[in-house]
A and B are shown apart, each in its own frame.
Chain A
Amino acid sequence: MKSIRVFLVTVILSIITLFIFVAALKGYQSSMAEANRLFDRQLLDTATLIANLHTENAVARFHQDSTIAFQVWRRNELIAASDNAPDTRIASFEPGFGFNNFAGYRWRTVTYFNSLSEDWVMAAERTDLRNALAEEVILEAVWPVLLGLPVVGLLIWLIVSRGLRPLRQFADELGSKQADDLSPLTYHAAYQELSQIGQSSNRLLKRLETSLLREKQFASDAAHELRTPISTLKVQLHNAQQDATADNKNIKELRDSTDRLGHIVEQILDLYRSSPDQFNANFKRVDLSALAQEVVALKYPLFETKNQQVTFSGEPCYLSGDHFALTTLLQNLLGNANKYTPPSGHISVSVHQSEHCITLTIEDNGPGIPEDERKSVFQRFYRVGGDRHSTGEHGCGLGLAIVKHIVELHDASITITDSRFETGTAFVVSFPLIRSSGL
Chain B
Amino acid sequence: MLLSSVILVLQETLEAALLVSLLLAASQQLSHKMSWVIYAIGGGLAFSLVYALEIGHVSEWFEYTGQEIVNASLQISVTLLIAICTWVLVRGWTPENRQRAGFRSSLFTQLAAATVMLAITREGSEVLIYLIGFYPIKDVFHTVTVGSFIGLGIGISVGVLIYFGIMGLQGRWQKNTMVSLLALFSGKMVSQASLQLNQADWIPSTPVGWDSSSLLSEESLTGKLLYALIGYEATPALAQIAAYAAGVILILITAIIASRVQAESRSASV
Contacts and interface: CB of A to CB of B under 8 A. Distances in A.
Interface of A: 7, 10-11, 13-15, 17-18, 21-22, 24-25, 28-29, 32, 131-132, 135, 138-139, 142-143, 146, 149
Given A24-B150, A25-B150, A135 B164 contact: no
Contacts of B161: 11, 14-15, 18
B160 A14 contact: yes
A142 B158 contact: no
B3 A139 contact: no
Given A7-B164, A11-B160, A131-B1, A142 B146 contact: yes
A10 B162 CA distance: 12
Contacts of A139: 2, 143, 146
A149 B153 contact: yes
Nearest to A145: B150
Interface in B132-152: 139, 143, 146, 149-150
B6 interface: yes
A135 B153 contact: no
A135 to B, nearest CB: 6
Interface of B: 1-3, 6, 139, 143, 146, 149-150, 153-154, 156-158, 160-161, 164, 221
B193 to A, nearest CB: 30
A21 B150 contact: yes
Given A10-B160, A135-B1, A142-B2, 18 more contacts: A10-B164, A11-B161, A14-B160, A14-B161, A15-B161, A17-B157, A18-B153, A18-B157, A21-B150, A22-B154, A25-B6, A29-B3, A131-B1, A139-B146, A142-B150, A143-B146, A146-B149, A149-B153
Q: Pick from B1, B2, B156, B161 the residue with the most CB of A within 10 Å.
A: B2
Interface of B is mostly: helix
18 contacts: A11-B164, A14-B156, A14-B157, A14-B160, A14-B161, A15-B157, A15-B161, A17-B157, A18-B154, A18-B161, A22-B154, A132-B1, A135-B1, A138-B2, A139-B2, A142-B2, A143-B146, A146-B149
A29 to B, nearest CB: 7
A146 B146 contact: yes
Contacts of A143: 146
Interface of A is mostly: helix
B3 A17 contact: no
A153 B153 CA distance: 13
Contacts of B153: 17-18, 21, 149
Nearest to B149: A146
Given A24-B150, A146-B149, A32 B157 contact: no
Contacts of A135: 1-2, 143
Contacts of B143: 135, 139
A35 to B, nearest CB: 13
A15 B157 CA distance: 7
Nearest to A20: B153
A279 B36 CA distance: 60
Nearest to B159: A14
A105 to B, nearest CB: 15
A354 B150 CA distance: 69
Contacts of B150: 21, 24-25, 142, 146
Contacts of B156: 14, 17
Nearest to B221: A25
B13 to A, nearest CB: 12
- For the complex of A and B, the 10 pairs showing the least CB-CB separation, nearest first, are A14-B157, A14-B160, A18-B157, A17-B157, A17-B153, A21-B154, A21-B150, A21-B153, A10-B160, A14-B161
